[in-house]
Chain A
Amino acid sequence: KAGVTQTPRYLIKTRGQQVTLSCSPISGHRSVSWYQQTPGQGLQFLFEYFSETQRNKGNFPGRFSGRQFSNSRSEMNVSTLELGDSALYLCASSTSRSGPNNEQFFGPGTRLTVL
């Protein structure tokens, strides 16, 4: 079974631009979560989508948004980029069954650099 894929793997943008990152979950997984990893803040939860609906949201400004499509693929968008948005953005998918054994499986991440 193919793992979680994320595109692009690397991205360089300038301040003020916007960016869209894509995530394809493991086949059969309906929940997709997004995380930001930075050296100073560690791994922080952005949001989670299930059946095209945002189910959980972290403490990030409204510049960070996402969506999920009917095939469970997800995109996240960051508008008006700031230097502090430079980070590794990770996508994770899970089966979305409640309770134990519902591990999240992560993709390789997209490394975003804002200049």
Chain B
Amino acid sequence: DQQVKQNSPSLSVQEGRISILNCDYTNSMFDYFLWYKKYPAEGPTFLISISSIKDKNEDGRFTVFLNKSAKHLSLHIVPSQPGDSAVYFCAASDSDSWGKLQFGAGTQVVVTP
């Protein structure tokens, strides 16, 4: 039962342009959402998070938007850089079991020169 879904397995974007990654969830109990970036043979690296009481959170080049009514969140990366090429995971948790993250399948981002 996949409660967090990333329907785009891959995304190719030109350097300097915006990368938009999407994530949908089905569990209305989720109240905390995170984005992680992962390189091969390494553990995921935390990027940015958002609480369900907000609809936007920004940190440098990264902005996460949350639409609770649609159960949808997105990550915007502006401008995209070659070092952003990695797999991006969306994750969610609820306050009753916030030590348990449920992950999407990931989106492979390739930033081309």
Taking Cβ atoms with an 8 Å cutoff, the residues of A that contact B are 4, 31, 33, 35, 42-45, 48, 50, 55-56, 58, 90, 92, 94, 96, 98-109, 111
Contact = CB atoms under 8 A, between A and B. Distances in A.
Interface residues of B, number: 24
B95 A103 contact: no
Contacts of A98: 95, 98
B46 A105 contact: yes
Contacts, number: 69
B100 A42 contact: no
Contact of B102 (A45, A50, A55, A107): A45
The B contact surface, by secondary structure, is loop
A99 B99 contact: no
A56 B100 contact: yes
A99 to B, nearest CB: 7
A76 to B, nearest CB: 15
The A contact surface, by secondary structure, is strand
A94 B99 contact: yes
Nearest to B100: A56
B10 interface: no
A102 B51 CA distance: 11
B51 A33 contact: no
A109 to B, nearest CB: 5
Interface string B33-66: 0101000011111100101000000000000000
29 contacts: A31-B99, A33-B99, A33-B101, A35-B103, A42-B104, A42-B105, A43-B89, A43-B91, A43-B103, A43-B106, A45-B101, A48-B97, A48-B99, A58-B100, A90-B44, A92-B101, A96-B99, A98-B95, A99-B32, A99-B51, A100-B51, A104-B34, A104-B101, A106-B36, A106-B43, A106-B44, A108-B43, A109-B41, A111-B41
